Amino acid sequence: MIQAVVDNLPQATVFHLACHGEQDPKDPLNSGFGLRDGRLTVAALMKLNLKNSLFAYLSACETAKGDGNQPDQSVHLAAAMLFIGFHSVVATMWYDSFSVVMIWNGSADNGILHRYIHDIDGPIVAKSFYKEVMKSGCFDFDAVPYALDAAVQDLRKKKVPVHRWAPFIHMGA
């Protein structure tokens, strides 16, 4: 699968990934996307000649995570996609496919562990996003930030908690 992506990506204008992403803060070039046969790394992507690349949609963990210790110097996956040639990127600041919340219940065990799945929102946002950018019958690259905003607004209207809609961001032009 990695080789298929590497072989076909140079001809693509739109690149959509729905997988696991992992940021390696110690070796940012080793950061990448978990595919069936391994990790597609930033280092491998940087070797490609992406003349046609316009838009990347990264529905994956840690694609715009950043680094808490160096917030203005982090090389995350979304920034790497801009660096290798994509003009516009939708990414998420998810740290994993779920967030973990500790709620103290007043008992001796000091809490109940709850997991709130975020992955349920990914397909909803993507469906709304693509419906908006394809309104005219073809992909409208100028509509990307507005389409993402509309998708996030849909979640907000449904009273989805902020920690589920805030991680979706757009970078680029």
The owner of tokens 């929102």 is 121
Q: What is the pLDDT of residues 28-80, one digit of tens each?
A: 889 999 999 999 999 999 999 999 999 999 988 778 776 666 566 567 889 98
Question: Residue 162: which pLDDT band, with cuts at 50, 70 and 90?
Answer: confident
What is residue 110's predicted lDDT score, i.e. its pLDDT? 46
Q: Return the domain boundaries, the chain.
A: 2-172
Q: DSSP characters for 68-90?
A: TTSTTT---HHHHHHHTT-SEEE
Strands 14-22 and 55-60: parallel
| Burial of residue 40, with CB atoms counted within 10 A of its CB: 0-12 exposed, 13-18 middle, 19 or more buried | buried
Place of tokens 């080789």: 3
Structure tokens at 169: 């961001």
Average pLDDT of 8-16? Answer: 92
Considering only the top CATH level, what class is 2-172? Answer: alpha beta
DSSP code at position 52: S
How many residues can be counted in the chain? 173
Residues with Cβ within 8 Å of residue 3, at least 6 apart in sequence: none
Residue type, 22: E
